[in-house]
Structure 1
Amino acid sequence: MRAIWLREFGGPDVLVPGTAPDPTPGPGQVVIDVAHANITFVETQQRSGRPGPFQVTPPLIPGNGVGGVITAVGPEVDVVLTGRRVVSATGGSGAYAERVAVDASAPIEVPAALALDEAVALLADGRTATMLVETVGIHPGDRVLVEAAAGGVGNLLVQIASRAGARVIGAAGGPRKVELLPGLGAELAVDYLLPDWADRVRAAMGGIDVVLDGVGGAVAGAAFDLLEPGGRMVSFGLASGEWSPVSAEAATARQVTLVRPDVPPARLRAYTQQALRDAAAGHLRPLIGQRFPLERAADAHAAIEARATVGKTLLDVS
């Protein structure tokens, strides 16, 4: 089968097209014929060898999320699963390929009303966005600042928070991304690359109640300063390359709660299923900003690292 190999750490060009043996399902496993593979920012960090909680060891086929059709089952697995459209995590590797074997309990069936590419776009990001909104607690009338609002998670956060009745401020980097935000449900859209972005938010909203921090670094610090007493802040990304610098002591002094989700795996699965149901019902629309054929995985990584992407980036495998 066709696959993308990571044989050494480095820039995007270390992702090299090649071949790999077709997987055979072992006991308790199924094989998925992959139509689309999910790409996350974390995977670009893994490829570069950057230290972090999800490090990998080359050589391997990268990727941790796919969507496709179950085409084979192993011993002790019900053959009724064959032919089902599913999305699935792959256990940390193996997704940038035509086929992958996973534990039979891993795949999640895709609702009939939902396109498979949209389901893949929601596999990780929809789960994260749904979890964050529930964990931080968003109520009608809350002033909610979403950072990296044109990103894979951020665009979903804007939609979910807006649907919950919040007044959403979307912050994104650059005019092209900012222009997308009103269409997603943002009442105010600002460019966090401009020095007066926080002043614009304060002038329009007075202060804010919730920060959903996907940027970290100085942007997270400025967002924290906008929070009113009783506000909540949760960090889910580091588009700046740095996590939020806000300390627990600073939050306590400002009467702000730093929310740190701690969710068991079973609950994460439920969040994915919820995101898929919401999308199938028309309540959530993943923004697929760009797609690349499998052989151009290196170009996909380069685009993400250059901050040239909006929404979700997919690899189209078949």
Structure 2
Amino acid sequence: MRAVVVDGFGGPEVLVAREVSEPEVGPGRVLVEVGASNVMYLDTLVRSGWGGEYFPVSPPYVPGAGVVGRVAALGEDVDPGWTDALVVTDTGHTDASEGRTTLPVDGYAERAAVPESALVRVPEGVDPKAALALLHDGPTALALERAAAFGPGSTVLVAAATGGAGSLAVQLARAAGARVLAAARGEAKLALARELGAHEAVDYSRPGWEKRVLELTGGTGVDVVLDGAGSALGEAAFGAVADGGRFIGYGTAGGRFSEVDTEEAGRRGVEVLGLFDLQAQDPDDKRSALRHMLELTRRGEITPHVGLALPLEQASRAHAALEGRTVLGKVLLVS
């Protein structure tokens, strides 16, 4: 079968499509004929050699941690009801003790062998690509909503508001009755943020953008910052959170997580949470969250936004687009 392989850490050019061995379907596992593979910014970081302490991946490996497709074969002891089911599923190894994917691998391929326990059915009426867009970002966005506890009367700033999780968080916050401020780069992304439901949109590529956020809140700051940007952008966003508010850092679009001054946070009474605080849940909880987000999508209450779908062989172009910040919404590879 065809798959994309990383033979050594480096830039997008190290992603090469070639023939590899078929995955083995052992007891309790199924073979999924992949329709599309999820592409995350995390994939670009791991490919570059970043994050070995969090994601201990060594080349050669097939990147990607999730797919959507049809169940093509069943291993021993698998419920026959899964035959030909349309499913969305993780492919990487999940550490049950940590509740997170520790090896984001085996997704960029024409077929994937996964545990039966990892499967989630795609509801009738939900586009498979939309379902895949929710696989990882859906549970993250729902965890952000629960941690932020926003509602009527609260003000939320979503940094990287047109990313996979950020675009969903904007919609969830708006539906909860919060006033939503979106931060993104460039007019096209700002327009999308407004389309998704943001009341105001601020270009965070402009110097002093966080001061504009303060102006929009009458100088008090926002109740909650959802930081999907990381790096200096996220650190600037911390300056826009109100005393007694919450700062939740979940993304690394800027290349690293934000480094918040914990002493200042303590003085101001700001609660600071990170990605792994949000992901301290077991895999069953994550699948339950995914089912909830799929149901919201089926009912038309949220709309996952897929901005770029490319053939499997163009994985390097997909990574370059993510790194170049040119994508509006999710990036997928189509088999």
Tell me which interval the TM-score lies in, with the shorter structure as reference length: over 0.9
Cα-to-partner distance string for 1:27-68 (whole Å, 9 max, x where unaligned):
110000000100001111111112341131111211100000
Q: Residue 304 of structure 2: SS of its match in structure 1?
A: coil
Q: Please name the residue that 1:270 is paired with.
A: 288
Q: Which amino acid aligns with 1:304?
A: L
Q: Please name the residue that 1:97 is paired with.
A: 109
Q: Which of 179, 182, 200 is the equivalent residue of 1:188?
A: 200
Q: How does 1:106-117 map to 2 (within 5 A)?
A: 106-117=118-129
Q: Residue 300 of structure 2: SS of its match in structure 1?
A: coil
**Cα contact 2:211–2:240 (8 A) shared by 1:** no
Q: Please name the residue that 1:19 is paired with.
A: 19
Q: Which of 298, 303, 323 is the equivalent residue of 1:305?
A: 323
Q: Which amino acid aligns with 1:81?
A: W
Q: For 1:146 and 1:267, how far apart are their aligned partners in 2?
A: 24
**Cα contact 1:49–1:55 (8 A) shared by 2:** no
**Cα contact 1:8–1:58 (8 A) shared by 2:** yes
Q: For 1:295 and 1:247, how far apart are their aligned partners in 2?
A: 43
Q: How does 1:15-164 map to 2 (within 5 A)?
A: 15-52=15-52, 53-91=54-92, 92-164=104-176
Q: For 1:102 and 1:200, how far apart are their aligned partners in 2?
A: 47
Greater displacement, 248-257 / 100-109: 248-257
Q: Residue 168 of structure 2: SS of its match in structure 1?
A: helix
Deviation at 1:229, TM superposition (A): 2.1
Q: For structure 2, list consecutive stretches of 5 or more residues without a partner in the other structure.
A: 93-103
What TM-score comes out, normalization by structure 2 length?
0.92
Deviation at 1:152, TM superposition (A): 1.1
Q: For 2:314 and 2:245, how far apart are their aligned partners in 1?
A: 43
Q: For 1:238 and 1:35, how far apart are their aligned partners in 2?
A: 27
Q: Which amino acid aligns with 1:251?
A: A
Q: Which amino acid aligns with 2:83?
A: T
Q: Please name the residue that 1:314 is paired with.
A: 332
Cα-to-partner distance string for 1:131-185 (whole Å, 9 max, x where unaligned):
1111221121211000000111111111110000000000001222112111110
RMSD value, Cα: 1.2
Q: Percent identity?
A: 44
**Cα contact 1:122–1:276 (8 A) shared by 2:** yes
Deviation at 1:270, TM superposition (A): 1.5
Q: Please name the residue that 2:99 is paired with.
A: none
Q: Which amino acid aligns with 1:302?
A: A
Deviation at 1:236, TM superposition (A): 0.5
Q: Residue 195 of structure 1: SS of its match in structure 2?
A: coil
Q: For 1:274 and 1:54, how far apart are their aligned partners in 2?
A: 27
Q: For 1:48 and 1:95, how far apart are their aligned partners in 2?
A: 17
Deviation at 1:107, TM superposition (A): 0.9
Q: Residue 169 of structure 2: SS of its match in structure 1?
A: helix
What TM-score comes out, normalization by structure 1 length?
0.97
Q: For 1:35 and 1:189, how far apart are their aligned partners in 2?
A: 35
Q: Please name the residue that 1:8 is paired with.
A: 8
Matched, 1:214 2:228: yes
Q: For 1:79 and 1:7, how far apart are their aligned partners in 2?
A: 37
Q: Please name the residue that 2:95 is paired with.
A: none
Deviation at 1:22, TM superposition (A): 2.3
Greater displacement, 18-27 / 169-178: 18-27
**Cα contact 1:153–1:311 (8 A) shared by 2:** no
Q: Please name the residue that 1:176 is paired with.
A: 188
Which aligned segments of 4 or more residues in structure 1 are displaced greater than 3 angstroms? none
